[in-house]
């Protein structure tokens, strides 16, 4: 390993990431090193870490199989170092980095993720990403009861929730009118029953008006974050489901603590996420500081 490890810091609606270039696939990234880089006190600090590596050099055969479509793999790690399927905000920051570094030249290209190949597109000053098909994790229960899970946030009664899979897991809560979104305590992870295998991201949602919701999120392996792109999509899908209006082509504005995202529902259970991507700093850390 070189004496210093280069990185770039970026964010999408204040969901922030440490990007680490590994253009020849020689670096690798252990869970311990990813967790150190994400540490806001001992390391660089971020909600997650993204290794930039050629898709053909990925460890996972399913990712290498995407190399015919996608040159680059977004190797995404949660703040605790655990590998995650993908990250909606992270895809936009990843795309912005690839363009800035000259690793991609077009306004539209495909990137590889553990949740499959995703098409990203420059959209004015923002990036859009087609996140592919979503599904209800337990469609029969959801269609019968309107929900399929219960979520406890601190004390008190549980809230009804809907489980939505976008390649990574989400559990969306429509808050009762008497519960203030800003008053919820998300310093610890909400309790979800039944407990999903591998954990879940939890979105707490408040309708603001037609096609407009506000959301807070507790991300698995991270804690509360300022934004979650796939979580915003899950929240829009769940709200549309509850309203009985899963109409193709509908557009949702989703306010998160870090800004605003746009979600578009597409045909065949597709969904597209649009929002900003900002690269804020470049730097390096001594390799000797990294855990083994």
Beta bridge partners of 160: 150
For the chain, what is the radius of gyration of the CA atoms?
Answer: 18
Q: Helices 88-100 and 229-243 meet at what angle, rounded to 10?
A: 140
The answer to whether the CB of 77 falls within 8 A of the CB of 19 is no
Distances (CA, A) of 52 to 20, 36, 106, 115, 278: 6, 17, 18, 16, 16
Active-site residue list: 87, 228
- The stretches of 244-292 forming alpha helices (DSSP H) are none
Phi-psi domain of 211 (left: phi exceeds 0; alpha: psi -120 through 50; beta: other): left
Extract the tokens encoding 238. 């769940």
Show the beta-strand stretches assigned E in the chain. Answer: 4-12, 15-21, 48-54, 72-78, 108-111, 118-123, 126-133, 135-136, 149-152, 159-165, 169-174, 191-193, 201-209, 212-219, 223-225, 251-256, 259-266, 270-275, 278-286
**Whole-angstrom distance, CA of residue 206 vs CA of residue 216:** 9
Show the beta-strand stretches assigned E in 175-232. Answer: 191-193, 201-209, 212-219, 223-225
Extract the tokens encoding 194. 């039944």
Beta bridge partners of 78: 48
**Whole-angstrom distance, CA of residue 215 vs CA of residue 218:** 10
Distances (CA, A) of 265 to 62, 162, 252: 27, 17, 8
């Amino acid at each position: 390993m070189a004496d210093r490890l280069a990185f770039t810091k970026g964010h999408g609606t204040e969901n922030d990431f440490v990007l680490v270039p590994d253009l020849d696939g020689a670096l690798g990234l252990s869970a311990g090193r990813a967790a150190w880089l994400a540490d806001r006190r001992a390391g660089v600090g971020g909600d997650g870490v993204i290794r930039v590596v050629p898709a053909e050099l990925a460890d996972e055969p399913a990712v290498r199989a995407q190399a015919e479509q996608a040159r680059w793999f977004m190797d995404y790690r949660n703040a605790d170092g655990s590998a995650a399927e993908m990250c909606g905000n992270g895809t936009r920051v990843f795309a912005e980095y690839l363009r800035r570094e000259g690793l991609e030249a077009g306004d539209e290209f495909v990137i590889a993720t553990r949740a499959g190949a995703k098409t990203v597109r420059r959209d004015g000053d923002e990036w859009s990403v087609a996140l592919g098909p979503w599904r209800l994790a337990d469609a029969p229960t959801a269609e019968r009861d309107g929900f399929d899970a219960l979520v406890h946030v601190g004390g008190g009664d549980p809230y009804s929730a809907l489980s939505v899979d976008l390649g990574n897991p989400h559990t969306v809560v429509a808050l009762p009118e008497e519960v203030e979104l800003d008053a919820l305590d998300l310093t610890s992870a909400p309790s979800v029953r039944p407990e999903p295998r591998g954990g879940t991201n939890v979105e707490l949602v408040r309708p603001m008006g037609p096609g407009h919701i506000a959301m807070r999120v507790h991300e698995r392996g991270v804690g509360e974050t300022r934004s979650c792109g796939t979580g915003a999509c899950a929240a829009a899908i769940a709200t549309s489901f509850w309203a009985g209006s899963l109409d193709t082509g509908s557009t949702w504005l989703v306010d998160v603590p870090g800004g605003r995202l746009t979600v578009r529902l597409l045909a065949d259970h597709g969904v597209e996420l649009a929002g900003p991507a900002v690269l804020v700093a470049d730097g390096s850390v001594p390799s000797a500081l990294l855990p083994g």
